[in-house]
Amino acid sequence: MLFHFRDKFPQLNPYWDKYLEFQQRLEVPAKTILLYEGKISQNYIFVEKGCVRAFFNNNGDDKTIQFFFENEGLFSVDSFVNNIPSVFSIETIEPSVIYLLPREYVTQLMAELSAEPDFLQIVLKMFTQRQTHYINEFVSFIRDTPEQRYNNLLVERPHIVLRVPQHYIASYLGVSAVHLSRIKSKLAKGKLHF
Amino acid sequence: MLFHFRDKFPQLNPYWDKYLEFQQRLEVPAKTILLYEGKISQNYIFVEKGCVRAFFNNNGDDKTIQFFFENEGLFSVDSFVNNIPSVFSIETIEPSVIYLLPREYVTQLMAELSAEPDFLQIVLKMFTQRQTHYINEFVSFIRDTPEQRYNNLLVERPHIVLRVPQHYIASYLGVSAVHLSRIKSKLAKGKLHF
DNA sequence: CCGTAACGATAACATATGTTATCAAGTTTA
DNA sequence: TAAACTTGATAACATATGTTATCGTTACGG
């Protein structure tokens, strides 16, 4: 359970900026784990450069839930808010520049934000957006074939296809890497008829 | 995008109770449509007796998103909050007793609730719960086979399997009705070995 | 610079799932 | 009560997808 913050609600940026100095800057290679499945989330994670994914282990092979790129922030809401073990891990996909804001500062920031007059409205909108996102994700599994989901990804979020290794995308789409390769070659053949 | 209210946060019930008199009581047969896909949600819907489902039409056959039973309330958050056409329909599955609270009263209710000191906390918790629910739904599609999903349903929400016709459950699980029948018979055979 | 790992394509085979059709039992409705 | 509809099971066949293995290419660390 993740969500983004920064720049989605620009009027909150000044609050955010106040805490820049408390962030820890990390420069890390690919495949660096930022949060371990089973551990309690202790930081809000902001991606300045590179990209990360949220995933969980399922009998050996891992399943990707979501991707995050430049200027996106995330945390395991469930773990962070309720102080319970995270059900997924977070790791970098590319060499990345990451900022971590520790729990105590996030709490403090939240308290300050509550003062903002229309913070309730913003929170509602923020969660409504996130909720719509996750509902669309799962409706897509009910409605679409893997091929259609891959196509949607190509059309709606091509940067994911361009930057992320194929087996992560496959696990995100809910198919095997082999099958995703088949889907791609089938689509490529389709495009030859014109 | 739906969510439940009543009794999940008992401290809010008094607020809710104040609006009981403005609700419209409906006694309807099965297959009564309460909100049409494409229309803007004008009511908060509360199920007193019976059950309903949210679904959308996909090239002729319909796909079920969620089920609601006694004492659960729902509305299309996206449609209701942002005044846009709903992406799904809502219809009764059994003969039901339904209460509708029109938009204007919900708005009024919300305004009153904002006064409640820890309403922000409650809203956060409420949405966090809903978000967890939808994430679990879609993670289940990435992680589990249809057979496992059916099993989860049996274990975690057996009332759904008991009360809801099988083809609705099939469309909710993302499989054909025929295949759900196969899954059931396979599970039944499995249970004979003991 | 070499060895190793990561990535992606493909083949061959096994299994899962969709589609269509048919049948039986129960329910609803005229 | 008869006809029509709903629900669910099953068979037969077609298609989709998973699994395992192999291969070539590229990227990367010693």
Residue-wise pLDDT tens digits, A109-128: 888 888 887 888 888 888 88
Q: What is the DSSP letter of A8?
A: T
Gap between the Cα atoms of A90 and A92, Å rounded: 7
Residue B69 clears pLDDT 80, i.e. is over it = yes
B158 vs B110, residue with greater confidence? B158
Residue-wise pLDDT tens digits, B84-138: 999 999 999 999 999 999 999 988 988 888 888 788 888 888 888 888 899 899 8
Interface test with B, best of A134, A171, A175 (most B CBs within 10 A): A134
User: 10 Å Cβ neighbour count for A3?
Assistant: 20
Concatenated DSSP letters of A91-112: EESSSEEEEEEEHHHHHHHHHH
pLDDT of residue B5: 58
Query: What residue type is assigned to position B142 of the chain?
Result: I
Residue B193 clears pLDDT 50, i.e. is over it = no
Q: Please indicate whether, in this complex, the C-beta atoms of B128 and A82 are within 8 angstroms of each other.
A: yes
- How close B73 gets to chain A, by Cα (Å)? 17
As a whole number, mean pLDDT of residues A82-109 equals 93
Q: Measuring CA to CA, how many Å separate B6 from each of A176, B13, B46, B66, B137? A: 42, 7, 9, 17, 22
Residue A80 clears pLDDT 90, i.e. is over it = no
Gap between the Cα atoms of B151 and B161, Å rounded: 10
Report residue B194's pLDDT band, with 50, 70 and 90 as the boundaries.
very low
Instruction: Provide, in whole angstroms, the distance separating residue B175's CA from nucleotide C11's C1'.
Output: 29
Residue A191 clears pLDDT 70, i.e. is over it = no
As a whole number, mean pLDDT of residues A78-107 equals 92
pLDDT of residue B3: 47
Chain A to chain B, count of Cβ pairs less than 8 Å apart? Answer: 91
Report residue A1's pLDDT band, with 50, 70 and 90 as the boundaries.
very low
Give the nucleotide nearest to B174 (CA→C1').
Answer: C17
B18 vs B190, residue with greater confidence? B18
* Percent of chain A's residues with pLDDT above 90: 59
Scanning A99-145, the segments in alpha helix (DSSP H) are 103-115, 119-143
Residue-wise pLDDT tens digits, B23-34: 999 999 999 999
CATH 3.40.366.30 fits B1-116, yes or no: no
Radius of gyration of chain A (CA): 18
Mean pLDDT (chain A) is 88
Q: Name the nearest CA neighbour of A101 among A13, A161, A192, A17.
A: A17
The residues facing A44 across adjacent strands are A101
Residue-wise pLDDT tens digits, B34-52: 999 999 999 999 999 999 9
Residue B129 CB in 7 A reach of strand C? no
As a whole number, mean pLDDT of residues B161-171 equals 97
| CB burial string A91-127: b at 16+ within 10 A, e below | bbbbebebbbbebebbeebeeeeeeeeebbebbbebb
Read off the tokens for B115.
């006064």
Q: Please indicate whether, in this complex, the C-beta atoms of B77 and A143 are within 8 angstroms of each other.
A: no
B185 vs B131, residue with greater confidence? B185
Per-residue HEC secondary structure of B27-67 comes to EECCCCEEECCCCECCEEEEEEECCEEEEEEECCEEEEEEE
Residue A194 clears pLDDT 80, i.e. is over it = no
> Spelled out in words, what is the top-level CATH class assigned to the domain A1-115?
mainly beta
Residue B191 clears pLDDT 80, i.e. is over it = no
Q: Determine the straight-line distance between the first and last CA of chain A, rounded to whole angstroms.
A: 43
A118 vs A94, residue with greater confidence? A94
The verdict on B158 touching A (C-beta cutoff 8 Å) is no
Q: What is the DSSP letter of A36?
A: -
Residue A5 clears pLDDT 70, i.e. is over it = no
pLDDT of residue A193: 42
| CB burial string B153-184: b at 16+ within 10 A, e below | beeeeeebeeebeebbbbbbbbbeeeebeebb
* Percent of chain B's residues with pLDDT above 70: 93
| CB burial string B9-34: b at 16+ within 10 A, e below | beebeebbeebeeebeeeebeeebeb
Q: Please indicate whether, in this complex, the C-beta atoms of B65 and A124 are within 8 angstroms of each other.
A: no
> Best-predicted range by mean pLDDT among A140-144, B80-84, B112-116, B146-150?
B146-150
B175 vs A6, residue with greater confidence? B175
pLDDT of residue A119: 84
Between A45-54, A83-92, B109-118, B133-142, the lowest mean confidence (pLDDT) is in B109-118
Q: What is the sign of the dihedral through the CA atoms of B72, B75, B76 and B82?
A: negative
Q: Name the nearest CA neighbour of A113 among A52, A44, A25, A66.
A: A44
Chain A 164-183 contacts with nucleic strand D (CB below 7 A): 174-176, 178-179, 182-183
